[in-house]
Amino acid sequence: MQAFAARRNSIYNCFCLLDRPQRLPMKMAAYKLVYFDAMGRAEMHRLMFKVAGIDFEDFRVPFAGWGEFKKTIPHGQVPILEVDGNMIIQSYAICRYIGRIAGFYGDKFSNWQNARIDSICETITDYEHDIDRLWGPGETAEVKAKLKKNLTEVKIPKIYGILEAFLCGNNNGDGFFVADMITMADFVVYAFVDVTVRTQFKDFEAPPAKDFPKLAAHTKRMREYPGIKEWLQTRPVTEF
């Protein structure tokens, strides 16, 4: 009788184990960020990876080899984020993906906070398109000169004023753009200010502290932020 009971319990335990969810070892995804040998639109992605401490392959396409490389990718554009070989395109789709896995966007925040992050990022895109025209092939030198003058005197001060107001709307502008921690919005704004604008407009090495004190202080904080500070010291040196 005891032998029968022992066997019955053994069989019962086996079935219980089969019913239980099995905890398998977590496999880290393989991330490959594809962009030109430049900071450009991919720098905000690199910064997010670095601050989060997530390993990724920083694959840089030489400008001289872009024509041939372009033929090998289905969408014909960069940046691309490959996740275990699967492609994500579009800068802000990539941002949101990294933001979710790193805790800079998504479930960690309320719907209101995520909407505010989106609002700040989409405000940036309105101005990026004009700046892109400065180095694109579609405009004459005369048009580019007028465009640059308008950007320097009107549009950049305007967007900096908008960003200053966004920043002041959270903790009086003395911390981050949303909540009490760094979010996707901080990376996007910092990359715009310290890469897109700084490399194209020598008059804007940094936001003028006299006119935009909170934004200027935010830029300094971001430059010193753990992960960003180290990356700025070691990243490849490129013109833009």
Q: State the Cα–Cα distance between residues 145 and 158, nearest whole angstrom.
A: 19
Q: Please report how many Cα atoms fall inside a 13 Å half-sphere around the Cα of residue 100, on the Cβ side.
A: 7
Closest to 176 in 3D by CA, of 120, 98, 101 = 120
Q: State the Cα–Cα distance between residues 9 and 129, nearest whole angstrom.
A: 69
Q: Are strands 86-89 and 80-83 parallel, antiparallel or unpaired?
A: antiparallel
Kindly report, residue by residue over 43-84, the tens digit of the pLDDT.
Answer: 999 999 999 999 999 999 999 999 999 999 989 999 999 999
Kindly report, residue by residue over 73-116, the tens digit of the pLDDT.
Answer: 989 999 999 999 999 999 999 999 999 999 999 999 999 999 99
Contact 63, 70 (CB under 8 A): no
Kindly report, residue by residue over 5-34, the tens digit of the pLDDT.
Answer: 444 454 444 434 444 444 444 468 999 999
pTM of the model: 0.87
Contact 204, 198 (CB under 8 A): yes
Q: State the Cα–Cα distance between residues 178 and 168, nearest whole angstrom.
A: 10
pLDDT of residue 138: 78
Work out the widest C-alpha separation in the chain, in whole angstroms. 99
